[in-house]
């Protein structure tokens, strides 16, 4: 899914440049690329559709307005779904849950990974070994398998899905942040902070974190992309949002049997998920490329 | 062609190299000549374009640069007329190069013998195996390296820095070049090794009648080595001439100020820095580039760049005030004042420290008194930084006691009291790494204040302003990020950060070694003033003996983890007792020693 060419190591090697000027330069370099512009446009468009959709939906998502699997008509713009609800309205309602859950899972995953990764990078030694080996164990499972396993154990629920997806991201984020952090902890300003007795927590979040913000942002974009896909998949399988709630993943599952004669119920949510992930990924990729360029001094 | 012209191995005429992107000039109007068997010292501070000129002799314009004017003649042949094939043959063959860091110039995956013979293969193909072996042996013997199989089978990492540099020199001389470009080849080396490397270069240049261009920022080294000297400033040669003239009767104000910034092993004068900073390509003024920093500048200096004026044979100066410059009264800086030392601040007792299993310090014993500056001098690997880090609580793997005001300190800074951490402040060697690049100067200093004093927002801002003023930075520096500052300015910020804690001991770990001499002098001046004003004690760690002379009251000489000699600065320099100290003193390059006399201008 990812087209990213960036590794944690290549990000962290380049010496960080300036504060505000640097962000302005990064932003300009990002937006100079077509991939980022298209990515941003897609992402913004899909976000608006997901957030504002319910406001413009002609019907309630659970209201029966037409015959099951009926073709597009004046009542239902994209026809009826498997139970005769308006596909268009369910589509407009169904984005909030995917996007909201994905964002929440990303925040949890990146936050946890960031703390673990930077702690491992700063403390080194046994702590580093233990944290990273635990991460290795988690990473040995494919994310979706891990998620299914945990859902099977604890039962389907939205908060649990968010937590599980977040946790399954954490080790990957941790590894990248540790790599980025290792390059920084060797520098004298960290020693300088130690010499004056700055608390460890402050060294990690006050001194180290501001120097790894670029790889962190790339991780946010990357994990958001994966979260959208993963959460849509879990909802599709039926482990997340439960029918009759409108959700893109749920919609695909509900309408997939009728795809031959009423494709809209599947095509709309599939296209939405695809455009959203392509958008976030293009944007992330553009940012990562810009970052390498800026830090090489181009 | 006259005999003199035939002798000229290198001639540069009005060389101009621009930045390809903006057209800003990196170097311009460079005129140089080097005769066979002669060493030209190309002197300048960082950013002066000296390396650019050096690389141009090899037919390279630096990355992003482009040669846009003038001519370089090697043995009378212009480089611009050569094909890329001819240039390849020229590099390493006719013109060879000794890099600054041999560690990166040698291929780490190839044995020494292989690398040397490759050089001969390329530039002297077709010779018999026998002849090549003989040549190889001869080459290595010239640089005083063993030529046995065992040595040839080694990899670069198995050699010391000095040996690596001598291999690089051997490679440079192997093909009997006519011209050799040395780009600060001794910068990373200890003085003892440096002395040997310099001797090798000088002897080889003389005996093989090679024209050598020695690029360096170190005036003392150039004084020992060069026959002629060219001084570069902001991309121009401002003065050139025979060595004795440049060092004894310099006429350009920049050369004169630069010489006064060089610490003097004889200790007769204090160093004086040059205020301001050199203009960068694209930001150079219309007149003389030095005018904004020059005390003698007149209106005319600000309008047109001065043409060259010849004073005595071969001595040319680009300055309108060159006639008057020698009359300029130097702003006198007395040598460091004898300060009244008080009670003991820090005592180090029987300290043994290790890096992993390897012991780095052996039974170190000394103390620093209030208002005293103690210099800790030693070559790389002598353990001087380890001592400093033990004192600052950054290296906790040691036994023995370190006491502050007769209170024993915990090993690591984390376990020390806030008061102890406040009293001992550490300034790091490299100001490019010791400041958090994502914090403004103001934020960095304010954080330090808040750690040690209960101060509110307004009070913090006021004290940050005061501290910046004390290190001679303007208050608007507070809103800058470190990479918007020069190296010297950053080091001032690092000092201001340390001063914010109002320490009683300032540990300065090689704090000027990453800086230019004029900046180093300014930092040394600053530290001297701070000591007078605040009664601060200092532990000044350095490898630069001449610098100690101008700053320290007492000296500790270290080698291999032991203190071999200690005593008051003047006594130690006057009559060193340890062999090691004597050797160190003898090997330290000195302008005075090179010229055979004391040569401070206008004295």
- In this predicted structure, the answer to whether residue A10 has a pLDDT above a threshold of 50 is no
A134 phi, psi to nearest 5 deg? -60, -45
> If pLDDT is split at 50, 70 and 90, which confidence band does B348 have?
very high
Which residues are CB-contacts of B242 (< 8 A; sequence separation ≥ 6)?
Answer: B227, B228, B229, B313, B314, B315
Measured between CA atoms, the residue of chain A closest to residue B483 is A18
Report pLDDT digits (tens) over B50-97: 888 988 888 887 777 888 888 898 888 888 888 888 888 888 788 988
**Burial (0-12, 13-18, 19+ Cβ within 10 Å), A260:** exposed
Q: Tokens representing B459?
A: 């009070």
Candidates B21, B392, B411, B438: best to mutate against A (most CBs of A within 10 A) is: B438
Chain B positions in Cβ-Cβ contact with residue A201 (cut-off 8 Å): none
pLDDT band at A115 (very low <50, low <70, confident <90, very high): very high
DSSP state of A46: H
Say if the Cβ atoms of A19 and B440 lie within 8 Å. Answer: yes
Q: Rounded to an integer, what distance in angstroms lies between the CA atom of residue B430 and that of residue B426?
A: 12
pLDDT level of residue B164 (50, 70, 90 thresholds): confident
Q: Is residue A202 less than 8 Å (CB to CB) from chain B?
A: no
A256 part of contact set with chain B, CB < 8 Å: no
Give the mean pLDDT of A232-255: 87
Q: What is the largest CA-CA distance in chain A?
A: 74
> Under an 8 A CB cutoff, do A211 and B438 touch?
yes
Nearest residue, CB atoms, B435 vs list A15, A189, A210 = A189
Rounded Cα gap, residues B170 and B177, in angstroms? 11
Which chain A residue is nearest to residue B441, measuring alpha carbons?
A19
> Bridge-partner residues for B11, per DSSP?
B33, B73
Distance (Å, rounded) from C-alpha B366 to C-alpha A86? Answer: 87
Band of the pLDDT at A17, cuts 50, 70, 90?
very low
Report the 10 Å Cβ neighbour count for B182: 28
- Better pLDDT: B398 or A76: B398
Backbone region of residue B397 per phi and psi (left: phi > 0; alpha: psi in -120 to 50; beta: other values): beta
Return the number of other C-beta atoms located less than 10 Å from residue A200's C-beta: 13
| Closest chain A C-alpha to B76 CA, distance in angstroms | 38
pLDDT in tens, B178-196: 899 998 888 777 887 888 8
Backbone angles phi, psi at B375, to 5 degrees: -100, 135
Could you give the CA distance from residue B48 to residue B46 in angstroms, rounded to a whole number?
6
- For testing the chain A interface, which of B436, B444, B479 should be mutated: the one with the most A CBs within 10 Å? B436
Q: How many CB atoms lie within 10 A of CB A8?
A: 23
**Considering the entire predicted model, what is its pTM?**
0.80
The rounded distance, in Å, linking the Cα atoms of A19 and A21 is 6
Q: Which residue of B has its CA nearest to A19?
A: B438
User: What distance in Å separates the CA atoms of residue B142 and residue B136, rounded to the nearest whole number?
Assistant: 10
d(CA B93, CA B87): 10
Residues B272, B261 contacting (CB under 8 angstroms): yes
- Token output for B544: 């630069």
Q: Is some CB atom of chain B closer than 8 A to the CB atom of A199?
A: no
CB-CB neighbours of A129 under 10 Å: 11
Interface probe, candidates A125, A185, A188, chain B, greatest B C-beta count within 10 A = A188
Task: Say yes or no for a CB contact (<8 Å) between A197 and B416.
Answer: yes
Burial of B453 (0-12, 13-18, 19+ CB in 10 A): middle
The CA angle B20-B24-B29, to the nearest 5 degrees, is 105
* Contact state of A197 with B418 under an 8 Å Cβ cutoff: yes
Share of chain A above pLDDT 70, in %: 92
Which of B433, B435, B501 lies at the smallest CB-CB distance from A196?
Answer: B501
Flag the least confident range among B275-284, B484-493, B556-565. Answer: B275-284
- pLDDT for B491 beyond 50: yes
Over 60: is that where the pLDDT of A264 sits?
yes
CA dist., res. B54 & res. B200, Å (int): 20
Cβ neighbours of B436 in A, within 8 Å: 189, 207, 210-211
- Chain B residue numbers with beta carbons less than 8 Å from the beta carbon of A195 are 392-394, 413, 421, 424-426
Q: Is B164 on the interface with A (CB under 8 A)?
A: no
Sheet holding B537-542, edge to edge: B424-427, B505-509, B537-542, B373-378, B554-559, B562-568
Residues of A in contact with B501 (CB under 8 A): 196
Instruction: Name all contacts of B124-132 with Cβ < 8 Å and 24+ positions apart.
Output: B124/B175
Q: Report pLDDT for B339.
A: 59
**A15: contact with B, CB 8 A cutoff:** yes
Between CA B389 and CA B360 the distance in angstroms is 12
Q: Is A187 on the interface with B (CB under 8 A)?
A: yes
| Under 8 Å between Cβ of B52 and B40 | no
Tens digit of pLDDT for each residue in B521-559?
888 888 888 888 888 899 999 888 888 888 888 999 998
**Does the structure show a pLDDT above 90 at A180?**
yes
Looking at beta carbons, which residues of chain A come within 8 Å of B452? 196
**Closest Cα in chain A, distance from residue B358 (Å):** 19
DSSP result, B11-65: EEEEEEEEETTT--EEEEEEEEEEETT-EEEEE--TTSSHHHHHHHTTT-PPTTE
In a 13 Å sphere around the CA of B510, the CA atoms on its Cβ side amount to 17
A297 in reach of chain B (CB within 8 A): no
pLDDT of amino acid A77: 84
Are residues B394 and A17, on separate chains, in Cβ contact within 8 Å? no
> Is the C-alpha dihedral spanning B501, B507, B512, B513 positive or negative?
negative
A12-16, A294-298, B456-460, B531-535: least confident range: A12-16
CB contact under 8 A, A18 and B414: no
**Look-up: residue for tokens 């000039």?**
B25
pLDDT at B515 over 60: yes
Name the average pLDDT for chain A: 85
8 Å CB contact between B62 and B17: yes
What is the rounded CA–CA span in Å between residue B59 and residue A93? 68
Which residue would you say has higher pLDDT here, B61 or A249?
A249
What local confidence, expressed as pLDDT, does residue A47 receive? 93
| A196 to B392: CB separation less than 8 angstroms, yes or no | no
Q: Does pLDDT of A282 surpass 90? A: yes
Hey, is the C-beta of B393 within 8 angstroms of any chain A C-beta? yes
* CA-based nearest residue in chain B for residue A196: B421
The rounded mean pLDDT for chain B is 85
Q: B residues 490-549 near A, CB within 8 Å?
A: 497, 501
Q: How many CB pairs under 8 A join A and B?
A: 69
B373: nearest Cα among B409, B407, B335? B335
Q: Give the range with max mean pLDDT: A43-47, B11-15, B250-254, B570-574.
A: A43-47
Residue B1's pLDDT is what?
44
Q: Touching check for B451 and chain A: CB below 8 Å?
A: yes
Question: Which DSSP helix (H) or strand (E) runs through B311?
Answer: strand B309-312
Task: Give the pLDDT mean for A186-198.
Answer: 89
How far is residue B444's CA from residue B393's CA, in Å, rounded to a whole number? 20
**In which residue are the tokens 């190299």 written?**
B17
Closest CA to B92 of B67, B130, B60: B60
Which residue did the predictor score with more confidence, A14 or B115? B115
């Amino acid at each position: 899914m990812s087209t990213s060419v960036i590794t944690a190591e290549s990000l962290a090697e380049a010496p960080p440049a300036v504060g505000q000027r640097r962000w302005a330069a990064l932003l300009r370099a990002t937006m100079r690329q077509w991939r980022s512009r298209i990515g941003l446009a897609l992402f913004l468009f899909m976000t608006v559709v997901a957030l504002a959709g319910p406001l413009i939906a002609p019907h309630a998502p659970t209201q029966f307005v037409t015959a099951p699997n009926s073709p597009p008509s004046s009542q239902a713009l994209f026809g009826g779904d498997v139970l005769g609800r308006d596909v268009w309205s369910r589509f407009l309602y169904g984005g909030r849950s995917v996007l909201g859950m994905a964002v929440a899972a990303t925040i949890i995953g990146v936050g946890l990974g960031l703390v673990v990764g930077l702690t491992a990078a700063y403390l080194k030694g046994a702590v580093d070994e233990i944290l990273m080996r635990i991460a290795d164990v988690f990473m040995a499972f494919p994310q979706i398998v891990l998620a299914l396993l945990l859902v099977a154990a604890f039962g389907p629920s939205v908060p649990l899905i968010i937590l599980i997806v977040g946790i399954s991201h954490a080790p990957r984020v941790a590894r990248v942040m540790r790599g980025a952090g290792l390059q920084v902890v060797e520098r004298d300003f960290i020693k300088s902070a130690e010499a004056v007795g700055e608390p460890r927590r402050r060294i990690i979040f006050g001194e180290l974190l501001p120097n790894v913000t670029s790889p962190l942002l790339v991780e946010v974009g990357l994990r958001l992309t994966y979260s959208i896909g993963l959460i849509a998949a879990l909802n599709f399988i039926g482990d997340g949002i439960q029918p009759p709630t409108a959700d893109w993943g749920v919609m695909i599952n509900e309408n997939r049997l009728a795809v031959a004669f009423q494709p809209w119920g599947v095509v709309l949510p599939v296209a939405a998920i695809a455009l959203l992930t392509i958008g976030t990924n293009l944007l992330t990729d553009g940012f990562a490329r810009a970052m390498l360029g800026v830090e090489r001094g181009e | 062609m006259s005999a003199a012209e035939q002798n000229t191995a290198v001639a540069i005429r009005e060389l101009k190299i621009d930045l390809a992107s903006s057209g800003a000039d990196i170097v311009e109007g460079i005129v140089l000549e080097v005769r066979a068997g002669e060493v030209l010292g190309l002197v300048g501070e960082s950013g002066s374009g000296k390396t650019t000129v050096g690389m141009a002799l090899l037919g390279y314009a630096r990355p992003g640069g482009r040669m846009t004017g003038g001519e370089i003649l090697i043995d009378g042949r212009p480089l611009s007329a050569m094909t890329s094939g001819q240039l390849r043959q020229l590099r390493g063959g006719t013109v060879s190069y000794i890099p600054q860091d041999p560690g990166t110039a040698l291929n780490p995956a190839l044995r020494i013998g292989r690398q040397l013979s490759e050089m001969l293969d390329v530039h002297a193909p077709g010779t018999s195996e026998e002849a090549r072996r003989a040549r190889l042996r001869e080459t290595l013997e010239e640089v005083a390296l063993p030529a046995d199989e065992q040595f040839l089978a080694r990899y670069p990492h198995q050699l010391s820095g000095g040996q690596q540099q001598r291999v690089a020199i051997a490679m440079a001389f192997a093909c009997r070049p006519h011209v050799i470009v040395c780009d600060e080849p001794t910068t990373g080396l200890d003085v003892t090794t440096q002395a040997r490397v310099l001797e090798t270069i000088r002897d080889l240049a003389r005996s093989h009648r090679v024209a050598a261009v020695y690029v360096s920022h170190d005036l003392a080294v150039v004084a020992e080595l060069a026959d002629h000297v060219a001084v570069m400033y902001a991309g121009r040669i401002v003065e050139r001439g025979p060595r004795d003239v440049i060092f004894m009767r310099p006429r350009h104000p920049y050369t004169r100020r630069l010489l006064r910034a060089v610490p003097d092993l004889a200790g007769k004068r204090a160093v004086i820095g040059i205020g301001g900073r050199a203009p960068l390509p694209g930001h150079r003024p219309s007149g003389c580039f030095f005018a904004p920093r020059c005390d003698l500048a007149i209106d005319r200096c600000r309008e047109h760049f001065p043409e060259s004026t010849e004073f005595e044979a071969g001595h040319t100066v680009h300055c309108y005030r060159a006639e008057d410059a020698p009359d300029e009264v130097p702003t006198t800086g007395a040598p460091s004042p004898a300060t009244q030392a008080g009670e003991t601040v820090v005592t180090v007792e029987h300290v043994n420290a290790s890096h992993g299993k390897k012991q780095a310090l052996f039974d170190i014993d000394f103390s620093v008194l209030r208002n005293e500056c103690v210099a800790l001098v030693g070559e790389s690997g002598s353990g001087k930084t380890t001592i400093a880090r033990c004192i600052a609580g950054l290296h906790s793997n040691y036994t023995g006691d370190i006491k502050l005001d007769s209170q024993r300190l915990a090993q690591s800074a984390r376990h020390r009291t806030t008061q102890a951490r406040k009293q001992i402040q550490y300034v790091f060697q490299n100001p490019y790494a010791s400041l958090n690049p994502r914090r403004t100067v103001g934020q960095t200093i304010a954080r330090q204040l808040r750690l040690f004093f209960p101060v509110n927002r307004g009070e913090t801002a006021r004290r940050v302003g005061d501290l910046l003023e004390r290190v001679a930075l303007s208050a608007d520096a507070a809103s800058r990020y470190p990479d918007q500052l020069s190296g010297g300015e950053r080091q001032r910020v690092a000092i201001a950060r340390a001063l914010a804690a109002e320490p009683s001991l300032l540990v300065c770990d090689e704090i000027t070694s990453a800086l230019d001499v004029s900046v180093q002098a300014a930092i040394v001046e600053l530290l001297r003033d701070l000591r007078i004003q605040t009664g601060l004690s200092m532990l000044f760690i350095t490898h630069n003996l001449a610098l100690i002379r101008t700053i320290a009251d007492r000296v500790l000489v270290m080698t291999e983890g032991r203190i071999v000699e200690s005593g008051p600065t003047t006594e130690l320099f006057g009559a060193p007792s340890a062999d090691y100290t004597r050797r160190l003193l003898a090997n330290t390059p000195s302008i005075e020693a090179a010229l055979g006399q004391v040569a401070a201008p206008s004295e």
